[in-house]
Amino acid sequence: MLSSGEIVRKAWNLGKVIPAFNIPYLPMMEPVVRAIVETDSVALIEVARLEWMKFEAQSPRRVMEEYAKWANPAHVRIHLDHVPVIDEDGCEVDYLGIIREAIELGYQSVMVDASRLELTANIAATREVAELAHAAGIPCEAELGSVLGHAEGPLPPYDELFKTRRGFTDIAEARRFVRETQCDWLSVAFGSIHGAISKAARDQKKVEARLNLVHLEQLRRATQIPLVLHGGSGVRQEYVLAAVERGIAKINVGTEIRQAYEVALRETGSGPIAQQKTYDRTVSLIRDYFCTSEVRGALMGDTQ
């Protein structure tokens, strides 16, 4: 069976992308996995700390238990998404404890997010997690720069953010970061934003973000490892496909499928209908947006 690291690295080499679908509500697991399998795709299932703190994923253990019910090794792997060192509310997090637990539970890749720290501290925290992950034989994802949107309160106007390159990953810092941390995948900031998570704003339609492709190309050359696009929901498809050609090998999707589930559940009160809407939206994203249906053979070969 190919590891998560081998799959993402192969996608990067082939100029393809692995979608990574976040699960903030446990009943979303089955329809998302089913959508991936039935489109003959390959994807990651993932959960971030904020999804058990501020939504209803409950815990890394409960997500793993739910994943185990539906997992299909020919199509899916499970990833621990954003575990911050300092969270969106400015609180310190026992990130090493969470990541150690996830490794023990069998998560097949992990992410530490120390991007709220200054560079040297981010490098130190990431290097420690990378060593933990590598000792367990799994890849480590990290973040450099700031993909905005998770903090409480409104963002400044998006056009202002994009024009000023606020939060964009610095090219020279990225080169140093990868060399000193030995992380396997790097989440970089070049125009995307996360979906809002505050209760007042989580139903709002995301801004249609743009991507600075020149900046991304410079990051690709500087890092020479698979890059990750966080905040993948709401970015125009032409930007997404161009970003894949320039080194993005994994794209995180949360808002698109979360809102499909939440809206259907709120409007109908029916869990099965909400699950069906989640399935439908996931299929649409795979087939029509990422164009990653029927690529399993190219990525997985004869080895599953």
Q: What are the extents of the domains in the chain? A: 4-254+286-297
- d(Cα 180, Cα 169) in Å, to the nearest integer? 16
Distance CA 238, CA 124 (A): 36
Active site residue 81: yes
CA angle 231, 22, 190 (to 5 degrees): 15
Which element (helix H / strand E) includes 64? helix 60-70
Tokens of 15: 């100029």
Determine the pLDDT at residue 54. 95
pLDDT of residue 154: 58
Q: Strand (E) positions, 114-254?
A: 140-144, 185-188, 227-229, 248-253
Backbone φ, ψ for residue 82 (5° rounding)? -20, 105
- Among residues 40, 81, 94, 302, the one annotated as catalytic is 81
Give the per-residue pLDDT at 197: 42
Is CATH 3.90.1010.10 the right assignment for the domain spanning 4-254+286-297?
A: no
Per-residue pLDDT of the chain (304 residues; tens, 9 = 90+): 899 999 999 999 999 999 999 999 999 999 999 999 999 999 999 999 999 999 999 999 999 999 999 999 999 999 999 999 999 899 999 999 999 999 999 999 999 999 999 999 999 999 999 999 999 999 999 999 977 655 555 566 666 676 666 778 999 999 999 999 999 999 999 887 755 544 544 455 545 677 899 999 999 999 999 999 998 777 889 999 999 999 999 999 999 999 999 999 999 999 999 999 999 999 999 999 998 876 777 788 644 4
> In which element (H, E) is residue 159 found?
helix 158-164
- Among residues 235, 242, 193, 237, the alpha carbon closest in space to that of 220 is found at 242
Whether the full predicted model's pTM is greater than 0.75, yes or no, is yes
* Closest listed residue to residue 118, CA positions, set 175, 184, 52, 170: 170
| Ramachandran angles phi, psi of 194, nearest 5° | -75, 155
SS3 of 26-63: the string is: HHHHHHHHHHHHHCCCCEEEEECHHHHHCCECCCHHHH
Residue by residue, DSSP assigns 127-158 as: HHHHHHHHHTT--EEEEES-----SSSPPPPH
Q: Tell me the three state secondary structure of residue 188.
A: strand
